[in-house]
């Protein structure tokens, strides 16, 4: 019974992590990404913004998966 309970708690934590915290991280990262993209001079603005969001997604995939059961 405890295995099923641990699995349910792990699933609830994963849902919380991906559905609640991930959008919060994106909202908090948006001003940083936009400001940093303004001052970079290597590419067009849209490409720099896309790279900034890609870094956030890659970070979340690397470190956000540790909570999955």
pLDDT of 39 above 70: yes
Whether 68 shows a pLDDT value over 80: the answer reads no
- Structural domain containing residue 26: 2-67
* pLDDT at 26 > cutoff 80: yes
Which of 24-33, 48-57, 60-69 shows the lowest per-residue confidence on average (mean pLDDT)?
Answer: 60-69
- Structural domains of the chain, count: 1
Residue in this structure with the two tokens 């059961």, named with its chain if needed: 69
Q: Which helix (H) or strand (E) holds 53?
A: helix 45-64
Task: Tell me the pLDDT band of 65, cut-offs 50, 70 and 90.
Answer: low
> In terms of pTM, does the model score above 0.75?
no
């Amino acid at each position: 019974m405890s295995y099923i309970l641990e699995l349910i708690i792990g699933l609830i934590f994963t849902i919380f992590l991906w559905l609640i915290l991930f959008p919060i991280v994106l909202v908090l990262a948006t001003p940083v990404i936009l400001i940093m993209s303004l001052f970079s001079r290597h590419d067009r603005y849209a490409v720099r913004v896309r790279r900034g969001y890609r870094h956030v997604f890659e970070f979340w995939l690397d470190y956000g998966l540790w909570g999955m059961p």
